[in-house]
Amino acid sequence: MNTNISLKTKRLIIRRFKADDYEDVYDYLSDPVTYIYEPGKPITIEEAKKLCNQRAKNNDFLAVLLKNKLIGHIYCGQIKPKKIMTWEIGFIFNRDYQGKGYATESLKAIIENGFKKWGIHKITAYCNPKNIRSWKLLERVKMKREGKLRKNIYFNLDKNGNPIWLDTYEYGLLKDDI
pLDDT tens across 145-173, in order? Answer: 999 999 999 999 999 999 999 999 999 99
pTM: 0.94
Provide the pLDDT for residue 121: 97
Instruction: Tell me if 77 is assigned to some domain.
Output: yes
pLDDT of 91 above 60: yes
Mean pLDDT for 113-130 is 96
Mean pLDDT for 23-36 is 97
Report DSSP state, residue 130: T
Q: How far apart are CA 18 and CA 73, in angstroms?
A: 12
Mean pLDDT for 67-75 is 97
Instruction: Tell me if 1 is assigned to some domain.
Output: no
Mean pLDDT for 112-131 is 96
Q: How far apart are CA 20 and CA 141, in angstroms?
A: 30
Indicate the pLDDT class of residue 54, thresholds 50, 70 and 90: very high
Contacts of 44 (CB under 8 A, 6+ apart): 26, 30
Indicate the pLDDT class of residue 75, thresholds 50, 70 and 90: very high
Cα of first residue to Cα of last residue in the chain, in angstroms, is: 20
Contacts of 38 (CB under 8 A, 6+ apart): 92, 155
Instruction: Tell me if 31 is assigned to some domain.
Output: yes
Instruction: Tell me if 75 is assigned to some domain.
Output: yes
Instruction: Tell me if 88 is assigned to some domain.
Output: yes
Instruction: Tell me if 59 is assigned to some domain.
Output: yes
Instruction: Tell me if 140 is assigned to some domain.
Output: yes
Q: What is the pLDDT of residues 128-147, one digit of tens each?
A: 999 999 999 999 999 999 99
- What is the distance of C-alpha 44 from the center of its chain? 20
Provide the pLDDT for residue 50: 98
Indicate the pLDDT class of residue 113, thresholds 50, 70 and 90: very high
CA distances from 149 to 85, 113, 154 (A): 22, 29, 12
Instruction: Tell me if 68 is assigned to some domain.
Output: yes
Provide the pLDDT for residue 3: 58
Residues of the chain with pLDDT > 90, as a percent, come to 96
Could you list the residue range(s) of the whole structural domain that residue 20 is in? 6-177
- What is the distance of C-alpha 89 from the center of its chain? 5
pLDDT of 81 above 60: yes
CATH number of the structural domain spanning residue 94: 3.40.630.30
Q: How many domains does the chain have?
A: 1
